[in-house]
Structure 1
Amino acid sequence: MSTAWHERLLGGFRRTSDKLGENLSGLLGKAALDDDTLDQIEEALIASDLGPATARRVRERLTGERFALGLTEARLREIVAEEVAAILAPVAKPLEIEAFPRPQVILVIGVNGSGKTTTIAKLAHLLTEQDYSVMLVAGDTFRAAAIGQLKVWADRIGVPIISGSEGADAAGLVFEGVKRGTAEGTDVLIVDTAGRLQNKSGLMDELAKIRRVLGRLNPAAPHDVVLVLDATTGQNGLSQIEVFKETAGVTGLVMTKLDGTARGGVLVAAAEKYGMPIHAIGVGEGVDDLRPFDPKEVARAIAGIERLAPEKSR
C-alpha cells in the first residue's frame, strides 16, 4: 500500500487508537496481571468500540501468557493488533468481478446519510482503475438529490449512467441497465437503491421487485448485495447489518467515514459478530479514498502502534 494511503489509515483510526490509549491509561505496570486488572482491560477494549467478543479474545490471550516483567502498554497494543488482525483476515475480501455472462450486477444498499452515493462513485472509480468497464444505475428514485449527485459523479469519473426522474420505477431502470450493459459488454453494473430503513416492508417490496426483474434477464443476478455502513454510528451500525441481512440478503460490507472522528472499532465488532466479507473501507472524501484493506495494517492502525513506536520496523 502507498505511504499516502497508510497515513490516511492512521488518521482514519486515530479516534479509536487514542480512545484505546485513554481507556488503558493507568491500568498497566503491575508485576502480575490479576483478575481486577484483566476486568479493567476488557472493559477498556469494549469502551473503545472493539466489541465484547474481541475484548474477551484479548483477555483470554493475556490470561494464557506470562509477563515476567509486567505487561507494558506497547506489548498490550501489539497483542490487541495481533488479535484484531486475526479477526479481520478472514473477512478482508475485495470484490471479485467474475460473473459470466456480463455484467456483474452489484446492488448497493444502506440508510440515507451513510455515504452510499459517494461510495458507489468511489467503487466505480476503483473498478475502472482495474480496467473494468462500469455502468451506474440511479435506483434511489425517492430522492432527486441522490439522482443528481450520482449523475455528477458519473460524469466526473467518466462512466455511463441510467437514470430517470424522481419517483421513476427503480426496477424498470435496472432492467434497462442490464439490457444495455449486456448489449455493450459492460463488466459491472452498480445499482443505487433507496435507503429507507424505517420502512422495512417498502424496502423489501422494492428489492424483491428489482430481484424479479433481474432474475428474468440473468438468474444469477444480483451477484453482490453490498451494504454501506457509516463508521461514525458505532455500534448502531451492527443493528443495520442485522436488519439489512434479513431484508436484503446482504453479501458483503463497505465501511465509510473512517475519517478520524469515526468509531473505527466497529469494523472489528462487525467482523467478529457477522463474519461477512468487508470489501473495502473509506478513509476520506476523495475519489481515491476507498480501497480494499490489509488486515494487519488496519489492526496496527486501530491499536495505534505506528505512532506509539515509530522507530520499530513493521
Structure 2
Amino acid sequence: MLKWFRRKRKEGPPEEPPAEREKAPVSREEAPERSPEAEKGLWQKFRRGLAKTRDRLKDTLGDLFEVDRLVDQAFMEELEEILVTADIGIETVDRLLEPSRRKLLLGEPLKTGELKRSLREEMLNMLSLESPPFPPEENPAVIFFIGVNGVGKTTTLAKVAWHLKNRGFSVLAVAADTFRAAAIEQLESWGERVGFEVIKQAPGADPGAVVYQGLEAARARKTDVVLVDTAGRLHTKYNLMEELKKMVRVAGKVIPGAPHENILVLDATTGQNAVSQAKLFGEAVRLHSMIITKMDGTAKGGIAVTVAHLFKLPIRFVGLGEKMEDLAPFEPKAFVDALLP
C-alpha cells in the first residue's frame, strides 16, 4: 500500500476610534488570553471534533506503541502506512519521521516511546507557524474568504464575524458571491443573527463592483473589519480564477494594501484534494492563512498537518461542529494532543 502511495507521488495597535462611535479600543492580539478552564475546554472541543481521526489512529497506533521496544525498519514502514491512512501526505510523513530515520541510519538505538515523542514534536513544529495578529492591524482590515464550492465559506465567514464581534470589533460583510441569489440571502440571514451589516447588489452583478461599494462603505463608516464572501469556484476554472484576481485588484485600489488577509477555506472531508486546491488558489492570489471546516465529520484530520507543512499556511480556525463556538481558534498543542492517542 505504501509503495502505491509513493508511486502516485512520483506521477505526477489600531487607531483610536472616533468619540462618536462610543466604543473602547479593541485589541489586535492573535486571541484573547485564555484561562486554564478555557484551555481545558478548547482541548476537549478538539478531542471531540477529532474523534473520528483519532479513533482511526488509535486502533493502529495504539497497538504499535503499546510496548516500549526497539524500533526497526519494518516498524517504521508500518508507522508510515498508518499515518498515510489519516490523510497525512507522504512528503509530510517523510518529514515527520526524518529525525527518527536519521538515528536508525546512524545505528543509534531508538525505542518506540522516543519515536512517539519525536512524532508529536515534529507535528507540533509543523503546525506552530508564525502569523500576524488577527484581524490584521489595518483600519479597515479587509479579509477575503476563498475556496471551492461547498466548503462552507459563507457560514464560516459568519462564525468569524461572531468571534470578532465578541472581541469588540465592528464588522461589515460584502456579498461578492453574486452568482447565487441564495448566497446573498444566506449572508443577510447570518447578518441578522450575528449583528453585522451586509453590502450587496442584485444577483448577477459584477463582483468587483460589489467589493468596491463595500469597501467604500466600510471606509466611510470607519468599520474595523470587512469580510468579503466570494463565490465558490473550482480551482481549475480559468475564468473564475481571473475574476478572483480582479476582485483583489479592485480592493487594492479602494484601500491600498487590501486585501490584508486572504483566507483559504478547506473542507477536511476532501482529504488530499485540499492540497491541489491550496496549490492552485495560491498560484492565483496570495494566500495568508486557512480555515479547515467539517473536521468533526471525517477521519481525514491529518490533512491539516499536510497543508500547513506543504504551503506554510497558518490555521486560523478549525470547524468542529455546527454551533458558532464550534469554529474554534486553532491551538496547535491542543490539536496534536487530541489527534495522537
Give the match for residue 58 of structure 2.
21
Larger RCO: Structure 1 or Structure 2 (Cα < 8 Å, ≥ 6 residues apart)? 1
Structure-2 change in CA distance of 1:302 and 1:123 (3 Å)? same
Residues 97 and 119 of structure 2 are in contact (CA less than 8 Å); yes or no, is this contact kept in structure 1? Answer: no
Decide which moves more: 22-31 or 265-274: 22-31
* Count of aligned residue pairs for this structure pair: 299
SS where residue 176 of structure 2 aligns? coil
Deviation at 1:202, TM superposition (A): 1.9
Q: In structure 1, how many angstroms separate the alpha carbons of the residues matched to 2:159 and 2:115?
A: 36
Structure-2 change in CA distance of 1:91 and 1:116 (3 Å)? farther
Residues 94 and 278 of structure 1 are in contact (CA less than 8 Å); yes or no, is this contact kept in structure 2? Answer: no
Matches for 1:89-108 after TM superposition, within 5 Å: 89-90=128-129, 95-99=134-138, 102-108=139-145
Give per-residue Cα distances to partners, 1:205-261, cap 9 Å, x unaligned.
Answer: 312322332232222111111110001111111111011101232221111111142
Deviation at 1:278, TM superposition (A): 1.7
Give the match for residue 285 of structure 2.
248
Residues 91 and 275 of structure 1 are in contact (CA less than 8 Å); yes or no, is this contact kept in structure 2? Answer: no
Deviation at 1:35, TM superposition (A): 1.0
Give per-residue Cα distances to partners, 1:115-158, cap 9 Å, x unaligned.
Answer: 11100001111111111111001111111111111111011000
Match of 1:204 among 241, 264, 286: 241
Residues 251 and 276 of structure 1 are in contact (CA less than 8 Å); yes or no, is this contact kept in structure 2? Answer: yes
Q: TM-score by structure 1 length?
A: 0.87
Q: In structure 2, how many angstroms separate the alpha carbons of the residues matched to 1:106 and 1:27?
A: 44
Give the match for residue 98 of structure 2.
60
Match of 1:45 among 83, 106, 112: 83
Residues 60 and 82 of structure 2 are in contact (CA less than 8 Å); yes or no, is this contact kept in structure 1? Answer: yes
Deviation at 1:4, TM superposition (A): 3.7
Matches for 1:176-215 after TM superposition, within 5 Å: 176-197=213-234, 200-215=237-252
Check if 1:281 corresponds to 2:318: yes
Check if 1:113 corresponds to 2:150: yes
Match of 1:80 among 119, 123, 127: 119
Give per-residue Cα distances to partners, 1:82-102, cap 9 Å, x unaligned.
Answer: 221111112566623301xx2
Percent identity over paired residues: 40
2:335 partner letter: V
Give the match for residue 4 of structure 2.
none
Deviation at 1:291, TM superposition (A): 2.9
Q: TM-score by structure 2 length?
A: 0.81
SS where residue 77 of structure 2 aligns? helix
Residues 82 and 299 of structure 1 are in contact (CA less than 8 Å); yes or no, is this contact kept in structure 2? Answer: no
Considering only aligned residues, what root-mean-square deviation do their CA atoms show, in Å?
A: 2.2
Give the match for residue 71 of structure 1.
112
Match of 2:337 among 300, 304, 312: 300
Give the match for residue 310 of structure 1.
none
Deviation at 1:27, TM superposition (A): 3.7
SS where residue 135 of structure 2 aligns? coil
